[in-house]
């Protein structure tokens, strides 16, 4: 708490501030007040509109990035044959879960109507096992694009238990766009490439 000293033209005191209080009789205070209350910019200018709380047209030309699609997720029905002698899902089975997820992902997002229209081949697959899946777990697989090249793209997967949210495994695979008639690779179709590029997630 500070009080004004002897000879001050602005008597009084202020609390909780280190700034000198404005004195109504001080010409400088009147000048500051005029500069704050009156604007010299034209009403139609973007800067003036922004200060007055309006939304100037200048911002209408700025387009936000498209919202990423939600991760594509499927439920997988665990089969008795998926279990091994230890009573949990065999390690090799998880890749078949990923295969099922990416096939449905591709049919939906590449606008394919049948399995015969699928035009990619699997070039690489890797998986990290985090926890064991046992009989009774409700398996869900999420898939999303993480990289894209000229003729190939990478998908990542998370395999989880739906009830608890427990992560079971993480996987990734490289898919190559392929012409089965010519038996050679081909560029990723433009419309599918666009979807992948807009929704890449590391």
Lowest mean per-residue pLDDT among 63-72, 85-94, 137-146: 63-72
- Residue 76, burial from CB neighbour count under 10 angstroms (0-12, 13-18, 19+): buried
Mean pLDDT in residue range 161-178:
98
What's the pLDDT at 116? 86
What's the pLDDT at 128? 99
What's the pLDDT at 68? 52
* Domains by residue range for the chain, with CATH: 21-63 (no CATH), 72-198 (3.10.129.10)
108 vs 9, which has greater pLDDT? 108
pLDDT at 39 over 50: no
CA distance 162 to 140: 6
pLDDT at 22 over 60: no
């Amino acid at each position: 708490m500070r009080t004004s000293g002897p000879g001050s033209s602005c008597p009084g005191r202020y609390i909780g501030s280190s700034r000198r209080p404005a004195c109504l009789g001080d010409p400088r205070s009147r000048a500051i007040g005029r500069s704050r209350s009156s604007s010299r910019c034209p009403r139609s200018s973007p800067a003036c509109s922004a200060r007055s709380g309006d939304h100037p047209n200048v911002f209408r030309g700025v387009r936000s990035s498209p919202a990423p699609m939600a991760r594509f997720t499927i439920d997988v029905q665990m089969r008795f044959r998926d279990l091994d002698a230890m009573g949990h899902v065999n390690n090799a089975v998880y890749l078949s879960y990923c295969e099922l997820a990416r096939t449905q992902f591709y049919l939906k997002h590449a606008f394919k109507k049948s399995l015969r229209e699928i035009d990619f081949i699997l070039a690489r697959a890797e998986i990290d096992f985090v926890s064991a899946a046992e009989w009774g777990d409700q398996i869900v697989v999420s898939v999303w694009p993480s990289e894209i090249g000229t003729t190939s793209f990478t998908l990542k997967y998370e395999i989880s238990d739906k009830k608890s949210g427990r992560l079971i495994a993480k996987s990734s695979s490289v898919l190559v766009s392929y012409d089965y008639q010519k038996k050679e690779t081909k560029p990723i179709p433009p419309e599918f490439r666009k979807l992948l590029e807009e929704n890449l997630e590391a």
